[in-house]
Amino acid sequence: MNQGAMGRAGVDGPGGVANPGPWTILFVDDDTDFLAAQEAYFGSRGHSVITAESSPEARGVLETVRPDIIFLDLMMERYDSGFRLAYELRKDERLTGVPLVMLSGVARETGERFDQEGKGLLSWTRLDRFVDKPATGKQLLAVAEELLS
C-alpha cells in the first residue's frame, strides 16, 4: 500500500486552475505502472492517493481508511475480481456514499465497451461508473469531479 501527498483544498494546480478537494482516493489495480501514474497525477494536484495491488490488499486498506472515491480494476487476481470486490464494498455500511468506479481493459481485448452499456449495467452492478482503459489521469479526474461534486 502506498499513500501519496496530502494537499490543501483550493490550491491552484497546473495552469492556475483551482483543485477541488483534497480527496482521499483509493486505486485498486494490479498494474503497478498505472498505480504510479495515478499517484503522480493526483498527488501533484493535492490529493491523497492510496494504492492496492489486489482485492485482499484493498480490503486491508479499507479496514482503516474511508476514501472519498474508489477506482478499481475489473481483472486482477481473477477475471471478475473487480466485480466481486465492488459487490463486497457495496454491502459495507462504512462505505455508503463512496463512489465506485470500475476500470476495464476488456474493450481493448474484445471490443466490448462497458462504458457504453448504460444505466442497466450500472444499476445491476451498483457501480457509479465504468471507464474503459486506457484512461488518462485527466479523464479520471473529470470522473472524480463529477461524482464528488
Q: Residue 20 has what pLDDT? A: 57
Domains of the chain: 2-148 (3.40.50.2300)
Whether the predicted pLDDT of 74 surpasses 50: yes
Q: CA 104 to CA 70: how far, in whole Å? A: 14
DSSP state of 18: B
- Collect all residues with Cβ–Cβ distance below 8 Å to 59 and sequence separation of at least 6: 85, 88
The predicted model scores a pTM of: 0.77
- pLDDT for 78-118, tens place per residue? 777 778 888 899 999 999 999 999 998 754 454 454 544 54
Compute the residue count for the chain. 149
- pLDDT for 19-51, tens place per residue? 356 999 999 999 999 999 999 999 999 999 999
- The b-or-e profile of 26-57 (16+ CB within 10 A means b, else e) is bbbbbbeebbeebbebbbbbbbbbbbbbbbee
Residue 26: its H or E element: strand 24-28
The mean predicted confidence, pLDDT, of the chain is: 79
